[in-house]
Each structure stands twice: as structure tokens, then as C-alpha cells.
Structure 1
Amino acid sequence: MTRFILFYSLVFSWLSSQAQAVKPKLRHSSTLSAGKQNTKPPILIAALTPMTVKPVQPIRPTPPLHAQTTPSTIGTKPFHTETKAEQASAPPVWVANPALVASIHTKPYLLPIDRSAVKGSYPLGISDRKTTHIIFPATIKEFDAGTDYVLAQVPQTITNVLRVKANPKASAFCRADSGRETNMTVITEDGGFYSFLVRYQEEPEILNINIANNLTADDQTSRALGINRSAAITFTLSGTTNEGTGLVKSDVAYRCERIIDRKPFIRNIGASKMRVTNLLTGIYVADKVIYMQFAVRNDSQIDYEVDFFKFYVRDKEVMKRMAAQDVELKPYAQYPETLRMLRAKTERSCVYALPLTTLTEDRIIEVELYEKNSGRHLRFQIEADVLLLAKPL
């Protein structure tokens, strides 16, 4: 019994000494593990901790360059982004040639042609046995046809008439190909541009055409179709400036066209005689140019043929022995370009661009509208206080 107790005490003391020797090692290992946690997290904890991962957006394939119709903005910041207000204020674009635009879908950065930029064309039938005469409001400066089977000639003595007929040598071809058409363009000295779609006809329906009498119908039809109503061409006027002003005539003519449809704000200034009336309806100013808007109305049963429309700066009251100082104001541009005939029971609006003139109290602008070979002349005065009503453009 004594031996057993002695053996038990020895074993217990040995186990106690071993336990005390292991405690420093555990403290040292725990210190090392704590130091490692500062640099690298435990693998087991990282594997069991749930992580919030942002879903990856699917990458869409970029179409090839030839198939793009608008610039790609993926991965780039646009230089300018239109706001909703800008998009709402932008005028709608009515594509004039949708079939052609749809067929050229492989071309990038394609700009549409708006209807307001399109100039209408007149249909014209010609024959090799009859001559068609086209009378223009001004001298013909240049003309061109799409094919050589269209013969056009301007007489030497009358420069505003164009004779058109089919080439007799190509008459057989024309008859066989009568379903197709070509084009012809005419440019006049006053900046007029006229386009014709020419077809061959055995018996032309129209042999004589007066373009000046068709301007009212042109304006109404162009307005209904939403296409360009101006008969002037820009490239004949651009590059030429008014003497002493540096103004480009095409810009002045464009402003005249913009003013033509504006609502009148000046009333009871004008003249009336024998049921023909000329009223001043608006005055605008921009870049040292004054734009005057008129409404000419013919309430009679007789057509009114315009001889001239002139403007003068004159003295308001001139003594008998004092010479009158009249200065004519020559217009820079006008719209419409030609105002030759005012039919019975009709009304026309017109705009004239004049050099800006400052009037004193004793000076006035006199407006004169004369009828050709008749006596229905209209004349009225515009005083200085009326010019102060001008609106800026």
C-alpha cells in the first residue's frame, strides 16, 4: 500500500511539471498567431464569413464600325449631353428622302435632308415637233439639262425666254424611254432658281409657261408640303457683299424670308386708292439693316401690275425756294424676289431690307408703289417715331 501511494505521488508530480512546461509554449504560439492576424486573416474565418459581391454587368458586344449609325459612347464620357429642355425645344426633322437614307445604313454620321431645304420642281413635257416657251421674271443667266436630248435656247433679243424641245436625233430613244425623266435647271439674274422634271410627250399638254404668274401657287403648295418656298439660290448671293456695309446678301435675303410669316404689329400706316391698299405691318432691325414688312391687297376686279417699289428719304416740309434733298434707299434684298402681278381679289405680303437710317423730326421715309401703264399709284410716309417701333431680330 505504501509503495502504491509513493508511485502515485511521483507520477502526479511529473505530470504537473510537464503541464507547467507546456504553458509558456502555448502563450508564445498564441502571441505569434495574434501577430499573423494583423497581416493575413485566418483561412477558416475568411471562408466561413459571407461576402457581399456586386453583380457583374454583362458585356454587350460592340457592333462593327460599318454597322454603326451613331457614335458609340460605351466606356467614354460624352462632351455634352442634351437636357430634356433642349430636346423639347429642338425643331423636328422631316426627312425628305427616307428611302435613300434607309439604303445607306452602312454609312456612319449620316445627316438627313430636311424638307425645308428641298426646292420643288415643275413637271415639263417636251416634243421634237413642238417648241415649249418658258417666260421667266428676270434675265436668264445659266441653264443646264441632264441629257443631250433636251435642247434649250435663249433668244438674242429676249433674254428672259427659254425655248425647249427634244432633240430630233434622239426622238426614237425618247419615245421608247418615255416613262423615264431627266431634269433641267435655270438660274436667272435676280438670283432665281428654277428646277424642271422633263419627260418626252408626243403631244405636250402645255406649250407656253409664264413663271411670274405661278409664284402664288408655288408659295401655297410649298407651304402645304413643308418645303423651301424661296426662289432664290444662296450660292449666287453668298460671297457678294453690299458696298460699304460688308453684309452678305444671302444672310439679308434669308432674314427677309423669315419675316414674311410674322404677325403684323403696326397698323393704320399706309395708302389706299381705287380699292388697292399698301399697308406697313412690321419693322425689324439687325446688323444696321432695317426690314419693312408690307401687305399689298387688291380688292378690285382688275389685276394690278407692279411697275416699281421705291423708298426715299425726304424733308417733311420744303419751302418753295428751297431745293428738296431726296435720297433714294436702294433695297439690299426683298422677299419674294419678284412682285410683278397682284391678281384681283388677292393679297400678298412682301419684305424689303433697307440701309438703316436715322431720321430727324423734319425728315421722313416715303414709300412709293406704282402701277405699270396705269394711275393707281400708292404713296405714304413713315415718320421717325414709327421707326422707333422696330423690333430686333
Structure 2
Amino acid sequence: MKKYIFTVCFILVSGFSALAQNRQPFKDTQLLKSFSFGVSYSKTVSLIFPSGVHSVDLGSGAVIADKFTGVENVLRVKANMKGFPETNLSVITKDGKYYSFYVSYQEEPVSLTYNIEGADNTGTTHPTTQAQSKAIPGTYLTASMNDVPIVFETVQMNEADLNFYSQEIAKRGDKISGIGMQKNKVRFDIEGIYIKDNVIFYSVNAKNTSNINYDIDFIKFYIRDKKQRQRTAIQETEVMPIFVYPENQNTIFGKSELNRVYCLEKFTIPDKKSLVIEMYEQNGGRVMTMEVKNKDIVKASPINFARK
């Protein structure tokens, strides 16, 4: 009996030992420092990258991020709620670099502009403007993929092509039923989804039936789970448009409407996730949200009109 118990214990110890050997921690050479900065509810922080921003992943809905219209390498970040617990932000740039950030809430951010140098993978942020009375943000060790090449699907159209197709799509009066929302006398919906090569064109319409102008702060696209279980982190992956038409009109005047075409690199999403499009009002509370399901994306209409 004792021999039997000894044998069982030996097998269990050996199994745990083998399991521990298969779960090795990261080596020091695999750990790179993450950037760290603070954001507030009333001020926007800008991150300047050495290359254009390809995609953004938000660890929490408490933080919102968006590119400046017409500018590829500047990401503006802002708090979506006050006093949120520390979260994270990941950015992949078009040159294949991966950047990791810790984001905390600061009523008065240390800096409003950070220059992220491409050759610096050590995790040190470089504030373009820095108040002397405030401490420089800290850095944290984290696993990073800065040295791993990231391959993107290349866009086969130039800016002139994107502009032409966007203009033609904006002229069409198509309408997709069941996608959109209406509140506070503002209607926000999808007029059409089109595909050309490896670019998907989303025709987004916003109609303001009130007498109060709607000043657009920004419109963002991100992918998230359709349903969130309790006590689980909300994972959002922001998708950055590669072209927007028209890009300079940011006010929906009273009793008028605005139609914009957003060009995104081709992608599909799992059935358990959805593409969310949100429009934020500058200095206002009329936030508009709509969800696009994968079944709607795969029904995108082919663009069969050619440039003259």
C-alpha cells in the first residue's frame, strides 16, 4: 500500500514538474517597456507617430481614440468618462511597428502632445510640450512585438481612385434598412456598403432635423463583441479609415444632412462580433451609435463603374 501511494505521488510530482517546465516566463530580452500617459475628459492628447496609424486596440471603452482628418500619423486620445481605472492602448503603424501604452486618468494631463520616435523601443515617451511642475510619465515592462514584422494587405488604389469612387458613391441614393439609429432629432445610418479590390466603402449619412447645428467631433469605427459577459474586460479594436470623403465638412446644420464615404481596408468579422460606428458631437451630448453585422458586410455591392 505504501509503495502504491509513493508511486502515485511520484507521478503527480513529475507531472507538475513537467507542466512547470512548459510554462516558462518571458526572457528579459523579450520584455520591452510600454509608454505611459494620462488623459482627461475635457482635453485631448495627441500622439505623433513616425508612420501612419494602421489600427488601434482599446482595452476599455473609457478611452476613445481617433486620427485627425487628412493626417495619417497623429492619433488623438481622450477620456470617455471621468476617473476610470488604468487601461491600455495598442497601436500598429503602417511601417509594421507595434506600440503599447498604459493610459490613466489625469484631470490635468502631463502633456497634450507626445512625439513617439520610431527608433525608440525602450518605452520612453517624449513630450513635445512639458510643464515643469509635472512629473514625466513612468514606464512599465511588458511583452511587446516591436521586432516582429507585421504584414498588411496592400491597398491597390491611389488617392485619386479613392476620391473618384467615393464621389460616385456619395451621389447614389441607396439605403440599407435596419442599420442605424435616431434620437434627439438626429438620424444616423448606413446608405450603402461597396467593395472594390481590397477596399470597402461605407456610405454614412447623418440627418439633422433639429434647429441646432450638430458639430462633429469625430466618427470612429471599431470591432467589439456583440454581448459582454459580466466582469469581463471590454475588448475594442479600432479600425482606421484610409480615406474619407468629404473630409473638411464637420458641421451638420439644422434642417440639413451630411453624407460621408469612409474607405477601409477589406475585412470580415466573426459572427459573435460586430462593427460599431459612433459619431460624437463636439461640446454636446448627442452621441450616435450603430452596429454593422458581418452578414451586412459580406453583402457589399461591387463597384462596377469605371473612371472616365
Give the TM-score band, short-chain normalised: 0.3 to 0.5
With structure 2 as the length reference, what TM-score do the two structures score? 0.47
Q: Which one has the bigger strand percentage?
A: 2
With structure 1 as the length reference, what TM-score do the two structures score? 0.37
Q: Which one has the bigger helix percentage?
A: 1
Structure exhibiting the larger radius of gyration computed from Cα positions: 1
Q: Which has the higher contact order (CA 8 A, sep 6+)?
A: 2
